[in-house]
Amino acid sequence: MLTPLRVKLRIRARHSGKEVTVKALVNTGFTSDFPEIAIPASLAQDLRLWPKPGEEAVMVSLETGGGVVEGYIIPQAVIVQVVTEDQMSREVVANTLINPYIEVII
């Protein structure tokens, strides 16, 4: 069984240049074929990805532990790095999944 844990991330929106540092859940079973980060609508607002996700955004139905919810995927919307006390990982461009009912998950 996976044990979820949290890591510190630096997230920068490619369009607006806005940047935030947050803690994200990892090792939760969230899977994808491409680099993706799931964020709540409030964080998407801080990054200026919401409430207008742009014409490239795709509305999707998401199966979650709490049931099916509507969300958006914005292709290659952010650059993500893992941050530790003494270093940062390489930058990864990630699709952004906006779900109003979650915390940050990678």
Q: Are 72 and 59 in contact (CB under 8 A)?
A: yes
Q: What is the pLDDT of residue 53?
A: 74
Q: What is the pLDDT of residue 66?
A: 80
pTM: 0.89
**Spans of the chain, pLDDT less than 70:** 1
What's the CA gap between 43 and 13, in Å, rounded? 11
Q: What is the pLDDT of residue 1?
A: 66
Domains of the chain: 5-98 (2.40.70)
Sort residue 78 into left (φ over 0), alpha (ψ -120 to 50) or beta: beta
Our measurement of the distance from residue 36's CA atom to the centroid of its chain's CA atoms, rounded to an integer in Å, reads 6
What's the CA gap between 10 and 92, in Å, rounded? 11
